Structure 1
Amino acid sequence: MNSLADLAPQLDRGSDMPLWSQFRDSLRTVILSGELSVGDKLPTEAELGEQFGISRIVVREALADLVRSGLIYKIRGQGAFVAAREREEDFVSTVLGFSDEMERKGLTVRTQVLSQELRPATPAEAQVMSLTGDDPLIALKRLRSVDNELRLLVETCVPADLAPGLHRVKLENRSLYDVLRRQYGLRIVRAERWIDAVLPDEATAELLGLTAPEPLLRIESLAFNQNGRVLEYYKALHRCKSSRLHVKTTT
């Protein structure tokens, strides 16, 4: 196999972006461009480190993140391989974030942050998130597109004590779940979601670029950490005209 470093975007050691995330994005670019096919084996950690001029620790962290997002998989004793990418949207039935799940399928996600603030929880938010009184939370409103198509309008709340300073973190074109995991050590282990169909109001239709009336799927979600505490509460309006949601169930 030719050196992946010859095919991938170069790493910028003067950038504020960590080397592991630059390396992860470089590998993702190579995979999604078709230079690597489904089932292809990646070079070993040592080989990747030599090709890109980085440590095995950096390589290992990047590969672990690609495994979490489903873009590659590992077989013990055999190495890492390129995974198949699905066409349907499975994020409603997994604890993957929207960005991770879309990127796993080779799609480009863009996120516009409409608002990001630290404020007291409303009585309704406090009740559903099991908060006390007017406990502070970080409230986000984001507009998300997939392959340049506006797809999702989502309002998210995260308890402020779990992610202090999150209201000051730059989240434009970033995965919230990745930030929570990397910067705060927070991990979602389960979620409960409710889905129904609604017609958008005029403001929502304008934000999503709807030129004609179109029903949207409304998704309400509570996500929990390993201690059973609500880590995230969101309400999303999802445009499904060019996609469909896929839900897996088990007994």
Structure 2
Amino acid sequence: MDKLDKSIPTPLYYQLLIILKEKIESGVWKPGDIIPTEQELMEQYDISRSTTRQAILALVNDGYLHREKSKGTIVSSPTGRMRFVGSLMSFSEEMDSKKIPHYSQIIGQEVLPASEAIAEKFDIKPGSSVYHLKRIRFVNDRPFLLDEHFIPYYLCQGIEEKYKNNTSLYKLLKLEYNFNLHHGQIEFEPVVPTSKEVIDLLKVNPTTSLLYVARMVYSDQDVPLDYFTAIIHGKFSIDVISTT
């Protein structure tokens, strides 16, 4: 498949996404390669800029591509990558189901203007309001992970007044804002602490092995709802990583 079929109901952006993804997964485009520009793809496939941009943005959010201002859109190096679909349990629900003692501590929460990188993930304008939450999560009274969430504020206005320590964020989003957290893309890679904050909050030393996780969660209509990152210390399972 290397052309779009406008006679079928499958959205054009999704057809283009599949074509570009196949080029990456088959090795036609290798990590570090610069892919054709939006204009070139528009002309090649006879589609609009918005359709082209939607396909590229989805691949950026899924970790297949990344953008560099001075170069363009580049094929990313593969890391641990996993797609998950279905009911998403919160960290609290996951720990409760395993009968593991846990609690959360808010480091900070605020409504702030979206950086260019965050705006790109949600396909909103830089400077648009986003809700930012940063927490440390404890398991068995020991720091387990440091996490951050970014959510477009127009989807969750007033949440900064409603979210408290030990509240399940996803439960709050479902009950108060009718979020349909349906599926997502998660990436993970081994890291060592990169800041004094991480060392101090997780109580680790500069050479401790940690796990970095990044995840986008979407609605059943593929609307990006939540961008989440975490640095995890200690033992973990895929269930814990993918259902924070």
Q: What is the TM-score when the length of structure 1 is the normalising length?
A: 0.58
Q: 1:226: how far off?
A: 2.2
Q: 1:171: how far off?
A: 2.2
Partner residue, 2:168? 175
Query: C-alpha offsets along residues 86-117 of structure 1, whole Å, 9 cap, x if unaligned?
Result: xxxxxx95622222111111112211011100
CA contact (8 A) 1:99 1:109 kept: yes
Once residues 219 and 186 of structure 2 are traced to their aligned partners in structure 1, the CA distance between those partners, rounded to angstroms, is 15
Once residues 165 and 201 of structure 2 are traced to their aligned partners in structure 1, the CA distance between those partners, rounded to angstroms, is 16
Once residues 216 and 99 of structure 2 are traced to their aligned partners in structure 1, the CA distance between those partners, rounded to angstroms, is 27
Q: 1:116 to 1:197 in 2, by over 3 A?
A: same
- 2:138 aligned with 1:145, yes or no? yes
Once residues 192 and 229 of structure 2 are traced to their aligned partners in structure 1, the CA distance between those partners, rounded to angstroms, is 15
Matches within 5 A, 1:74-223: 95-200=88-193, 201-211=195-205, 213-223=207-217
Q: CA RMSD in A?
A: 2.1
CA contact (8 A) 1:219 1:236 kept: yes
**More contact order relative to length (CA 8 Å, sep ≥ 6):** 2
Partner residue, 1:234? 228
Larger mean Cα displacement after TM superposition, 102-111 or 114-123: 102-111
Once residues 212 and 245 of structure 1 are traced to their aligned partners in structure 2, the CA distance between those partners, rounded to angstroms, is 25
Q: 1:120: how far off?
A: 0.9
Matched to 1:132, the amino acid is K
Q: 1:206: how far off?
A: 0.6
Matched to 1:146, the amino acid is V
Secondary structure at the counterpart of residue 197 of structure 2: helix
Q: 1:170: how far off?
A: 3.1
Once residues 185 and 116 of structure 2 are traced to their aligned partners in structure 1, the CA distance between those partners, rounded to angstroms, is 20
Gaps in structure 2 of 5+ consecutive residues = 1-82
Once residues 206 and 100 of structure 2 are traced to their aligned partners in structure 1, the CA distance between those partners, rounded to angstroms, is 25
Gaps in structure 1 of 5+ consecutive residues = 1-91
- Alignment coverage as a number of residue pairs: 156
CA contact (8 A) 2:192 2:206 kept: no
Q: What is the TM-score when the length of structure 2 is the normalising length?
A: 0.59
Instruction: List 4+ stretches of structure 1 deviating above 4 A.
Output: none
